Amino acid sequence: MKVPKAGVIAAVIGLSLTASACGGDDDQGTLAVGIKFDQPGVGMREPDGTFTGFDVDVATYVAKELGYSKDRIVFKEVLSNDRELLIEYNEVEIVAASYSINDKRKAKVDFAGPYFLAHQDLMVRADDPTLTKAEDLNNPAKRLCSVTGSTSAENVRKNLAPKASLLELGGYSECVVALKDGLVDAMTTDNSILAGYTARKGNEGKFRLIGLRLSNENYGIGMKKGNTELQVKINNALRKMVEDGTWEAAVKKNFGPDYKYETAPAITAGS
């Protein structure tokens, strides 16, 4: 399911041709922010065209601190495997899209944060009692879904279930459909994303999280390398968001009362 690099670059070039129509870089006075469009509770484009989710709330708060009101933010969709490209090609100025900080990504972009700590988990169908731990998937007969370019997919290959049949799709919503239809036995990504899907209207009672902590995912805000001034400003905004209580309120609003979140991580990027 991997997209050829040339195809990705062509898509990025195509986006640049329409940037002015959606408030892109040619439209002075706006801030282009990359988010996910298909992650309930994290980053979601609703049917009415509005945007919801924790990353959306964080990006909106940061934008305000940078001097941009809500009507001057332009949200653009990013996929897990094209976030660095969109930053490099100036399609977005910052990315807040369940963007885990790691050394491979830091070689291409700079980060502010982290602003949230998630853990990789497994989501299965609620009526399937056979999967209770990661090792239950380590069988060629078991099919696991993840998203191309995600750190979860890499962890699956190396550590989680090397014998499982891994299906990589372009978006998390596609994995949810595959799980619901019985095409895969489980789906893996961050527990924050999975919690959003289990709580999504229409999904109540259909899925369950196993409750694992297979990795530590520190979400950061990505930007072009070398923009130290912007990095410092965003870090200051994130600290203020935690201190004034907005961060905790956003967590509870987006992930629900049953989500067991951890306190905001210490900001280390750029320090």
What is the band of 271 on the pLDDT scale with cuts at 50, 70, 90? low
Predicted pLDDT of residue 17:
38
Give yes or no for residue 8 having a pLDDT over 60.
no
Quick check: helix, strand or coil at residue 255?
A: helix
User: What would the pLDDT profile of 192-251 be if each residue is shown by its tens digit?
Assistant: 999 889 888 888 889 999 999 998 999 999 999 999 999 999 999 999 999 999 999 999
Q: What Cα–Cα distance (Å) separates residue 144 from each residue in 12, 27, 158, 205?
A: 29, 42, 14, 20
Report, as an integer, the average pLDDT of 69-73: 97
User: Percent of the chain, pLDDT > 70?
Assistant: 89
User: In terms of domains, do 173 and 163 share one?
Assistant: yes
User: In terms of domains, do 50 and 145 share one?
Assistant: no
- Please tell me the least confidently modeled range out of 3-17, 28-42, 172-186: 3-17
User: In terms of domains, do 79 and 100 share one?
Assistant: yes
Q: Where are the alpha helices (DSSP H) in 72-133?
A: 83-88, 103-106
Q: Which residues contact 48 (CB under 8 A, 6 or more apart)?
A: none
Quick check: helix, strand or coil at residue 200?
A: coil
In a domain, 43, yes or no: yes
Give yes or no for residue 5 having a pLDDT over 80.
no
User: Percent of the chain, pLDDT > 90?
Assistant: 67
User: In terms of domains, do 174 and 205 share one?
Assistant: yes
Predicted pLDDT of residue 15:
43
Q: Domain count of the chain?
A: 2
Quick check: helix, strand or coil at residue 181?
A: coil
User: In terms of domains, do 88 and 21 share one?
Assistant: yes
User: In terms of domains, do 112 and 224 share one?
Assistant: yes
Predicted pLDDT of residue 172:
87
Q: Which segments of the chain are extended strands (E)?
A: 31-35, 38-39, 43-45, 51-52, 73-77, 94-95, 110-125, 143-147, 165-169, 186-190, 207-209, 216-223
User: In terms of domains, do 202 and 132 share one?
Assistant: yes
Give yes or no for residue 113 having a pLDDT over 90.
yes
Q: What is the DSSP string of 219-245?
A: EEEEE-TT-HHHHHHHHHHHHHHHHTT
User: In terms of domains, do 110 and 228 share one?
Assistant: yes
Token pair of 137 as six digits: 């998937």
In a domain, 94, yes or no: yes
What is the residue range of 61's domain?
5-117+218-255
User: In terms of domains, do 88 and 25 share one?
Assistant: yes
Q: What is the CATH number of the domain that holds 133?
A: 3.40.190.10
| Dist. CA 161–CA 156, nearest whole Å | 6
